[in-house]
Amino acid sequence: MTNALSLILNGVAVDLDGSVSDEPLVWIIRDKLGLKATKFGCGHGGCGACTMHLAGCAVTSCNTLGKDAAGKKVAARFGQGAGSGGYPRVAR
Ligand code: FES
């Protein structure tokens, strides 16, 4: 039995199957949640293409596991920006 993985993505509560807990956050955001604007580059924390905010700190999501985001606020692309509305959506 797997536990659920819950997080708050761009201000929205999200519940996932806990089996994704050991997957890199970038693939959870892109593949499980469909936010393709989150980019993947080098895959080892060097390029910054996958950077997002986790609990207010910038992290590279290619080397951050889903379980590290459990119960925390995650701001992926389009969730970042000033004010509650973030930046305007310009790409998918
Ligand atoms: S893909 Fe390059 S830092 Fe994550």
At 6, phi and psi to the nearest 5?
Answer: -115, 140
Ligand 1 atom at minimum distance from 26 CA: 4
Q: Does ligand 1 come within 6 angstroms of the Cβ of 4?
A: no
Ligand 1 atom at minimum distance from 48 CA: 3
pLDDT above 70: residue 90: no
3-state secondary structure 63-90: HCEHHHHCCCEEECCCCCCCCCCCCCCC
Distance 1 CA to ligand 1 centre (A): 31
pLDDT recorded at residue 37: 87
pLDDT tens string 45-85: 999 999 999 999 999 999 999 999 999 999 987 655 555 55
Q: Of all residues in the chain, what percent carry a pLDDT higher than 90?
A: 66
Q: Does ligand 1 come within 6 angstroms of the Cβ of 62?
A: yes
Q: Is 8 exposed, middle or buried (0-12, 13-18, 19+ CB in 10 A)?
A: middle
Q: What pTM did the predictor assign?
A: 0.81
Q: Which fold has domain 18-72?
A: Ubiquitin-like (UB roll) (3.10.20)
At 88, phi and psi to the nearest 5?
Answer: -65, 150
Closest by alpha carbon to 20, among 80, 61, 79? 61
